Amino acid sequence: MASRRERGSEDRAWFGWASAAKPTDDEMRGILVDQLREDPFTKREAIHVTVSDAVVTLTGSVTSSTARRAADDDAWATPGVRDVENHLRVSIRPTSDGPRAA
**Nearest one of 16, 17, 18 to 8, comparing CA atoms:** 18
Burial class, 30, CB count within 10 angstroms (exposed 0-12 / middle 13-18 / buried 19+):
middle
| d(C-alpha 77, C-alpha 91), whole Å | 25
Whether the model clears a pTM of 0.75, i.e. scores above it, the answer is no
Query: Of the CATH numbers 3.30.1340.30, 1.10.10.10, 3.40.50.620, 3.50.50.60, which one belongs to the domain with range 21-90?
Result: 3.30.1340.30
pLDDT at 92: 79
pLDDT tens track, the chain, 102 positions: 444 444 444 444 555 555 557 899 999 999 999 999 999 999 999 999 999 999 999 999 999 999 999 999 999 999 999 999 999 999 976 656 555 555
pLDDT at 16: 59
Q: Where are the domains of the chain?
A: 21-90
pLDDT at 21: 77
